[in-house]
Structure 1
Amino acid sequence: MLILYIAYFTFTFSVNNNMVTIEVLTGSNFKKWKEDIEFAMEMADVDLSLVTDKPGDLTVTSTDDEKLVHAAWIQSNRICLLSMRRSILDHLKSGLPIDCAAKELMTAISERYHVSLNADIGNLLQVLFNMKYDGS
């Protein structure tokens, strides 16, 4: 069972009584967003399209196993794409591919928001500067 709760900057999935939260991609939190998406899709057992390429088209001679894999990949791709697109701020969606697989969309987003070591250091410094002494 998959339930989606939407807050301003997070999405929370309830998958088999496990709560999984995804931060909305704001541009500066790509690394965390990617980890959240991958974890949520793994927990929901729909990460097939994120980790594999699209299977070949079905033919008359396709086996039942090939048909099952194809159907599972199509469903996984649909759910992953919906989850990814819903967790990106609207103004950041421009320029992203529209008609693509989830793996291709993740690659495009990764290229746009490539995380450098300096960005990680900057985030840590910002957390440090915003800390307040609480007396303990």
Structure 2
Amino acid sequence: MRERDITGVTRRKRRSLTRPAKKAVPAHDLIGRDFTAADPGLKLVGDITYIPTDKGWLYLATWLDLATREIVGYSMADHHRASLVVDALTMAAGRGRLQTGCIVHSDRGAEYTSDELRREISRLGLRQSMG
């Protein structure tokens, strides 16, 4: 398809939640495309998705442990503000499986570059990473 410049037909618009804050300074990429981990609690990756419901959009933030491929923290709300990802990270930390210095990796969206999330990462003794 690429050789003949053929593309598929998309009937619906894809909606992206990644909206970087205008003045946000992203964290360094500590993962470097290496989405593996030797032990649990060393590397987490986070993302937000949206789910259409009869009453509007529902947003789901998750943190996945790269060693076990298990969702270790999640949060759902009718918004995708910073508190959504902070609550999910707090849940992951509350389960007691994160090691000191654990890398917390995400995209550069406004929720992940927020001061609220950075304070929580610092309070928990984790390291932030963005790709």
Q: Which is higher, the Rg of structure 1 or of structure 2? A: 1
Could you say which structure has the higher strand fraction? 2
TM normalised by structure 2 equals 0.30
Could you say which structure has the higher helix fraction? 1
TM normalised by structure 1 equals 0.29
